[in-house]
Structure 1
C-alpha cells in the first residue's frame, strides 16, 4: 500500500508527535508498505511565533499537491493542523478524496494560554479542520471522549506504542547525582507545567532533560535543578534509565509518550490524574496518579521497576500499525490495491 503522511512536525524537532510518526513510518515500511512523508524540510519556512524551533512552511499548497500527485498514494493521512496539513486538506477536498487526520496535541488549550482567545472558538476551528476527515485518530480513549463531548462525530481512539528495544533498564550510573533521582524528559514549554514539579520539596536530585523556549528562564529560577540535553536516542535512553521516578506534571498532554519510554526503562511514573496519565498508567500499578504530585513522586519510588517495564511491553507498535491501517480511507479507484493489515 502507498501511504502519504503529511506532518508539520518532523526531525530535528524533538517531540512526541515526531517520534510517533517516524516510528509508525518505520513499522509500516518493515511490512513493505511504501510511505511518503511530506514535512517542512521540503519547503521554505519561517519560525513559529513564540516557538522558534518549530518551522512553518510558507505557501506550500502547490508543492504539496505536486508531491502527492507524483507519489499516487492509495491513502492520505494528515497528522497535524499546520500549514502542510491545511494544504493537504484543501487538496483532498478539491479532488473529493477521503483522508484521515490525527489529533496529537491540545492546540486550543495551548493557543488560549498564549493569546487569551476563547477556548470554544478555538475548538470550533478544530471541528472545522477535522470535520471532513474519514476518522480523527486520537491517542487515547480519554481524548476520544473529550472530542466527542466537544461535538466531534468522527473521533476514533488510536493508542501509541514504545520502542522497548531502545528504551530498556540499564545501569543507573549515567547520572552521578544524589539519589533518588526524580526525572523529567520532554519539551521545556509553558504548557508542560514544569514548575509543578520543580517547586516540589523532594529528597535527592531533580533532573530535566530537554530543550524549549522556557529552558533558560527555568534554569535561572531553579539553579538547584540539573538541566541536561540528550544527543541522540542512545544517550536519551541512558538518561531515562538513570532515573528512580519519572515525574510528569503536564495537565494538557493528549497522551505523554515519554511516560511509556520511562516505564520501558524500568522507571515508574508520578503524574496528575488527568488525560494522558489515565490512559498510559491506568490501573497498571506502573505509576502513581495523585492531585498531590509530591505524594505521587514519593510513592512511585516504592514501585518494582519490573512492573513498569512489563506494562510498557503491552504497548506494541505492531498493534498501533494495525489500528492505523484499519482506519485509513482508500482513494477512489485505489481500494483494490489495499492489502490486509
Structure 2
C-alpha cells in the first residue's frame, strides 16, 4: 500500500504535527506500508505576517498534480488545512478521488487570539474543508465527539504514540534549584504560557521552545529560563531533569509533549481541559485543576514510575496501525457506497 500525506506543517518546524507525522510514518514503513509526503519543501514559501518563524508554501495546481502523479499513491491523506491541503483537496475532488483528513489544530481559537475574525467563521470553513473526507481523524474521544457536535461527519479515532526509548528516566542534572517546573512547546500567545510563568512557585521554571512571544515573555519574566527549541537527545535530557511538566494550554487538541514527559517519568500539571483530560484521564500521573499553581505543587508527590508505566502503553506502532486501519476502512466504505449507488 502506498499512502501520500499532504501537509503544510513540516521540517524545520518543531511541533506535535510534524513529530506525529514523521514518527507514525516510520512505524508504518516497518509494517510494510510505503508512506511519502507532499510538503512545503517542494515550493517557495513566505513567512506568516504575525508569525515570522512559520513559513507557508505557495503551491500551484500544476505542480501539485505532478507531485501526486509521481508518488502514484493508492491513498491520499490531507493532514492540514493550509494551501497545500486545499490544493490537494481540490485535486481529489476534481478527479473523484477519495481521501482522508485529520484534525490537529484548533485554528478557530488561534485565529481569534490574533485577529477579530469570529471563531464561528473559522469553524464553518473547517467543516467545509473536511466535509468531503472519507474519514476525519481525531486524536482523542473528546475531540472526536466535539467535532461531531460541531457538524463534522465520519469522524474516527487516531491515537498518538511516544518514543519511549528516547524519552526515558535518566540521571541528568542541570544544577538548577529544585523543584524544576518545565514547559515544552511553541512560545506563542495561544499556548497560554503566562498562566505558568506568572505562578509563584519554588525552584526553577524552564521553557523549551521558540516562537513570536519568546522575547517578550523572557523580558517580562526574567526569573524563568528560556532554552529555545531543542530536539532529540538534548530535549530528552531536559525532560529527564524536570520534577513536574506544566502544560498551560487550553486549546491543544492532544499535546504530544504530555506523553514525552510521562515517558521520562515526569508527572503533569495542567488545566482540566480537552487534551490533558483525554491523555491522562483518571490515571494517577498528573493533576488537573483550574488552580494551576496548586496542581504544580500536588504533582510533586506523584511517582515517576507510575508516569513511565502509563506512557509505555502508547507506542508509535499502535498509532501507525490505527492510521492504516482508518484508511483501509474508509476506502472500503467508499467503494461500497460507489457500488451501492451504481
Please state which band the TM-score falls in when normalised by the shorter chain. Answer: over 0.9
- Written as runs of structure 1 = structure 2, the 5 A alignment for 1:289-308 is 289-308=288-307
Map of 2:193 onto structure 1: 194
Distance 1:289 1:48 in 2: 34
In 2, are the aligned partners of 1:60 and 1:83 still within 8 Å (CA)?
Answer: no
Distance 2:159 2:201 in 1: 32
Distance 2:279 2:71 in 1: 36
Report which stretch shifted further, 321-330 or 36-45.
Answer: 321-330
Distance 1:47 1:37 in 2: 21
Map of 1:279 onto structure 2: 278
Map of 1:121 onto structure 2: 121
* TM-score, normalisation: structure 2: 0.95
Q: Please state how far the C-alpha of 1:33 moved relative to its aligned partner.
A: 1.6
Map of 1:226 onto structure 2: 225
In 2, are the aligned partners of 1:74 and 1:330 still within 8 Å (CA)?
Answer: no
Is the partner of 2:207 in helix, strand or coil?
Answer: strand
Map of 1:339 onto structure 2: none
Map of 1:319 onto structure 2: 318
Distance 1:332 1:87 in 2: 24
- In the TM superposition, what whole-angstrom CA distance separates every residue of 1:71-109 from its partner, at most 9, and x where no partner exists? 211100000001110011000000111100010000111
Q: Which runs of 5+ in 1 are unaligned?
A: 336-341
Distance 1:333 1:219 in 2: 51
- Written as runs of structure 1 = structure 2, the 5 A alignment for 1:73-84 is 73-84=73-84
Is the partner of 1:309 in helix, strand or coil?
Answer: helix
Map of 2:149 onto structure 1: 149
Is the partner of 1:172 in helix, strand or coil?
Answer: coil
In 1, are the aligned partners of 2:210 and 2:229 still within 8 Å (CA)?
Answer: no
Distance 2:222 2:20 in 1: 33
Map of 1:40 onto structure 2: 40
Is the partner of 2:176 in helix, strand or coil?
Answer: coil
In 2, are the aligned partners of 1:74 and 1:334 still within 8 Å (CA)?
Answer: no
Q: Please state how far the C-alpha of 1:231 moved relative to its aligned partner.
A: 4.2
Distance 2:62 2:233 in 1: 38
1:53 and 1:334, CA in 2 relative to 1: closer, same or farther beyond 3 A? farther
How many equivalent pairs are there? Answer: 334
Distance 2:335 2:12 in 1: 33
Distance 2:146 2:279 in 1: 16
Distance 2:184 2:231 in 1: 13
Distance 1:62 1:56 in 2: 18
Map of 1:338 onto structure 2: none
Distance 1:110 1:60 in 2: 26
- In the TM superposition, what whole-angstrom CA distance separates every residue of 1:50-70 from its partner, at most 9, and x where no partner exists? 112222111332211111112
Report which stretch shifted further, 93-102 or 27-36.
Answer: 27-36
- The answer to whether the aligner puts 1:97 opposite 2:97 as a matched pair is yes
Is the partner of 2:160 in helix, strand or coil?
Answer: coil
Map of 2:340 onto structure 1: none
* TM-score, normalisation: structure 1: 0.95
Is the partner of 2:169 in helix, strand or coil?
Answer: coil
Q: Please state how far the C-alpha of 1:172 moved relative to its aligned partner.
A: 3.2
Distance 1:111 1:94 in 2: 29
- Written as runs of structure 1 = structure 2, the 5 A alignment for 1:103-182 is 103-173=103-173, 175-182=174-181
In 2, are the aligned partners of 1:97 and 1:332 still within 8 Å (CA)?
Answer: no
Q: Please state how far the C-alpha of 1:330 moved relative to its aligned partner.
A: 4.1
Map of 1:217 onto structure 2: 216
In 2, are the aligned partners of 1:183 and 1:247 still within 8 Å (CA)?
Answer: yes
